[in-house]
Structure 1
Amino acid sequence: MVDIPETGNTFAKNATLKSTYVFENFGLDCFADDSGLEVDALNNEPGIYSARYSGVKNDTVNLEFLLKKMDGLTNRKARFKTVISLLKNGENYFFEGIIEGTIRTAPSGTNGFGYDPIFVPNGYDVTFAEMEMSEKNKISHRALAMQKLIAFLKK
Structure 2
Amino acid sequence: MTRRIGAGTLVIATHNAGKLKEIGALLEPHGVKCISAGSLGLPEPKETGTTFVQNALIKAGAAAEASGLAALADDSGLSVAALDGRPGVYTADWAERQWFEGEPGRDWYMAMGKVEGMLQAKGPDTPRDAWFSCVLAIAWPDGESAVYEGRVDGSLTWPPRGTLGFGYDPVFVPQGRDVTFAQLDPDEKHRISHRADAFAKLVAEQFG
For Structure 1 versus Structure 2, the TM-score category normalised by the shorter chain is over 0.9
1:89-128 paired onto structure 2 within 5 Å: 90-128=143-181
| Identity in percent | 41
Contact 1:51 1:58 in 2 (8 A): no
Contact 1:19/1:87 (<8 A) preserved: yes
Please give the secondary structure, in 2, of the residue aligned with 1:129: coil
- Unpaired runs of at least 5, structure 2: 1-37, 98-105
Structure 2 equivalent of residue 32 of structure 1: 73
- Alpha-carbon deviation of 1:105? 2.1
CA distance in 2, matches of 1:115, 1:3: 24
Distance 1:154 1:86 in 2: 14
Q: Deviations over 1:2-46 (max 9, x none)?
A: 433211010000000110111111111011110000100000000
Q: Deviation of residue 55 (structure 1)?
A: 4.8
State how far apart, in whole Å, the 2-side matches of 1:42 and 1:123 are.
22
Amino acid at match of 1:6: E
Could you say what the CA RMSD is over the residues aligned between the two structures, in angstroms? 1.4
Deviation track 1:100-138 (CA, whole Å, cap 9, x = no partner) reads 000002100001101000000100000000001000000
Q: Distance in 1 between matches of 2:163 and 2:139?
A: 35
Match of 2:191 in 1: 138
- Letter of the structure 2 residue corresponding to residue 62 of structure 1: A
TM-score, L = length of structure 1: 0.94
Contact 2:44 2:59 in 1 (8 A): no
Query: Are 1:20 and 2:55 counterparts?
Result: no
Q: Could you tell me the TM-score, scaled by structure 2's length?
A: 0.71
- Moved >4 Å (runs of 4+): none
Q: 2:128 aligns with which of 47, 52, 76?
A: 76
Q: Which of the two has higher C-alpha Rg?
A: 2
Q: Is the 8 A contact 2:61 2:143 kept in 1?
A: no
Question: Residue by residue, what CA displacement relative to the aligned partner does 1:61-103 show, whole Å, maximum 9, x if unpaired?
Answer: 2111111111135200000001111114642111000100000
The residue that corresponds to 2:85 in the other structure is 44
Q: Which runs of 5+ in 1 are unaligned?
A: none
Q: Offset of 1:51 from its aligned partner?
A: 0.5
Show the counterpart of 1:87: 139
The count of aligned residue pairs is 155
Whichever residue aligns with residue 82 of structure 2, its letter is A
1:63 aligned partner: 112
